[in-house]
Amino acid sequence: MFWRMTKTVLILPGTALIYIPILIQWFSNRWPFGASVGNFLHWVVATMLVVPAFVLAAKSMKLFVLEGRGTPAPWGPPQRFVVSGPYRYVRNPMLSSVILMIMAEAVALSSPLLLLWAIVFFLLNTLYFKFIEEPGLERRFGGDYLRYKAKVSRWVPMFWPYEPLGANDS
Domain range annotation of the chain: 2-151
Backbone angles phi and psi of 67, in degrees to 5: -90, -40
For 137, half-sphere exposure in the C-beta direction (CA atoms, 13 angstrom radius) is 24
Secondary-structure percent of the chain, ordered helix, strand, coil, rounded to 5: 65, 0, 35
Cα 139 to its chain centre, rounded Å, is 22
CB 85 within 8 A of CB 60: yes
For residue 104, the model assigns a pLDDT of: 97
Give the rounded percent of residues in the chain with a pLDDT score beyond 90. Answer: 68
Q: Which DSSP symbol is given to 87?
A: G
pLDDT tens for the 170 residues of the chain, in order: 666 667 666 777 889 999 999 999 988 877 655 555 668 898 999 999 999 999 999 999 999 889 999 887 778 888 999 999 999 999 999 999 999 999 999 999 889 999 999 999 999 999 999 999 999 999 999 999 999 999 999 999 999 999 987 655 44
For residue 169, the model assigns a pLDDT of: 42
**What's the distance, Cα to Cα, between the start and end of the chain in Å?**
33
For residue 130, the model assigns a pLDDT of: 96
pTM over 0.85: yes
CB 147 within 8 A of CB 85: no
For residue 34, the model assigns a pLDDT of: 57
Domain 2-151 has CATH 1.20.120.1630: yes
* pLDDT tens figures, 127-164: 999 999 999 999 999 999 999 999 999 999 999 999 98
Buried b (16+ CB within 10 A) or exposed e, 14-38: eebbeebbeebbeeeebeeeeeeeb
